[in-house]
Structure 1
Amino acid sequence: MTDTLLHHRGEGPASAPPLLLGPSLGTSYALWDRVAPELAVSHRVIRWDLPGHGGSSPDLIRPGATVADLAGLVLALADALGLERFAYAGVSLGGAVGLHLAVHHPGRVSSLAVLCSSAHFDTGNGSKAWEERAARVRAEGVEWLAANADSRWFTPGFTVPGLVEDQRRADPEAYAACCEALAAYDLRAELPRIAAPTLLLAGREDPATPPAHLREIADAVPGAALVELPGASHLAPAERPEAVLTALRGHFDGERGGARRGMAVRREVLGDAHVDRAQERQTAFTARFQDFISRYAWGEIWTDPTLSRRERSMVTLTALVAHGHHEELAMHVRAARRNGLTPEEIGAVLLQVGVYCGVPAANSAFAVAQRVLAEEP
């Protein structure tokens, strides 16, 4: 990290669709600890810290800052990481940043999820409450906020000590500047401009941004969906990670259309039994590779209409024989039969391979194919 960029953590394959995760005021990217690793199975997840929070320098923000300033820091981070377009999910202030990006930088945001947030953080007396909090933090520090963090963030009896410690360690001046950004923020009139697919998640027991705030956004953003999470207060990803993960996976699944198509084709070509066995053997270590195969090999190459599946089977058999991948060859002899090749056509392919790859390679391939074809009823 440098002092010119927000502190951040990257997870997931670099080739996967990028997804940025924004935190709530007073917390670090640890807010996403129970959600981000699962999202990283199918996305390149980048979670970031607010200025003066977690590992981000307090010098990245100044008094009188705006949500637009914070959005600019997020865009600078995305640019530094080479992310031209990305999905985005954010909590509270992090959600406000996402709304601003979707309104003012629509070309950058492919899909948006806003959690426990608002288009305005008016507590009933305009911006005065946030200005008063900023002044008190500058005068007294943030310990008093840490002392009542549980009641502001979680349902009774629940806590996450690490997040409360994040509040205690936040830089007072940077925290105060973030409060001033919330005081000046009101995006209500601009919400209809959001074109990105948008999901709103509300904690039913959230006193800071109750469901009515998320409903207001959902009513204004074309096509937006609203989900209320029972048993969740303001920091839903920490308190109800399973529910948040399910909702985000469903929403961002559009980013993984290739994976869905690929899995369907994979089953059609290789058979349900083979794919089910592969899924059962999948571990956290292999999950990203399995996703890579589904998205690229099956979701893009095998779905390309330029070649028929029969033709792709012929090419695949040739490549597998040439490289001596006999276990894969057996699997794709079965696949070739599903794709319509007759035993005679498979034999013709192997003869062709024998001419160009050598008799020993063809000899081994014929043995594998004969064993597989003998399995047929």
Structure 2
Amino acid sequence: QAQSNLTIGGVLQANVKNYKISSTTRQTSNELRIDDDYASRFWLSGTEDLGGGLKALFYVENRFNTDVGTAQAATGNGLGNGETYVGMKGHWGQVTAGKHSWMSTQGLTTEYVSASGNLLAVPTSMLATYSILNQAVGNLDTTRRANSVTYRSPVISGFSGMVGISTASAANEGTVNGRNDYSDGREYFLQGAYANGPLALALAYRDFTAEGRGSFVTNAGVTAFVPGTDDKQLRFTGSYKFGSLKLGMMADRATREAVGGSKSSRTAWSIPVSYAIGNGTILGSVTKAGDLSVGHAGLAASTGNDSGAKNVHRGLRPGPVQAHQRRRVLQPTGQ
């Protein structure tokens, strides 16, 4: 007799904050804001026992902002605008098809989870993973990869791995800007990780080839083909817990190359630190992106200049910020 398992869960967040903006070019201003920087969400997941150690599974996530209701951190529209996939798992690991987070989330556990295992109350816009490591003269991998298949290995003595491939990671298959430009794009992702006791390490690699190799842009009534860009990224993340103290290190090397042209690259790094005190956490981090190397004409304005990406934050997390409500339903389904 097989069994089904359904799980309902979610995270709701809203925060009140005050911004102070000042510079030499405009008047200093203060603003009181109510935001949902985390992007609240709920999800449905389930498994079906197929026997012989094999299970079918699914995961559907919906994202929204508590303060305004819109889905600002979503991929696509409707119910499954977050991480969404279906697949199978067994003693050999897990394989799923749908939308998956790959490089965009590499490092989140290093800077977003305290030594006590709690999520830190940090707006995602302040996290190095999203604000700097995932950008280099424009966005790199900043969200879930569409049209993708992902394999996750079982954990063996703390070691694990992940392999992913997408046939069109950022858009619909085949056409570009409504034209039938079937120059096939690809994205590949590889990750190896080790987590055992206080030590956690990971090394990830991403290789993106633009779908359609570019796009058609109309300017002053003239339509011309503008070449796309191909990306490569290599990121190391690691952390170590000394009791209530957690020290982290992240480094990212990214290269952006114009189709048929030259390329630019940059290196970025971050050092996050957190210290748990009861249910509270003192936290801080320093993040910096280096200069861009000599690149193609499209990046000439930024070539050799400091990318300006520097982020220093510190704060106090007073208590838990995440809550789950789950319901498990077990029912016979027959064989």
Higher strand fraction (1 or 2): 2
TM interval, short-chain normalised: under 0.3
Larger Rg, first or second structure (1 or 2): 1
TM-score (norm 1): 0.22
Higher helix fraction (1 or 2): 1
TM-score (norm 2): 0.24
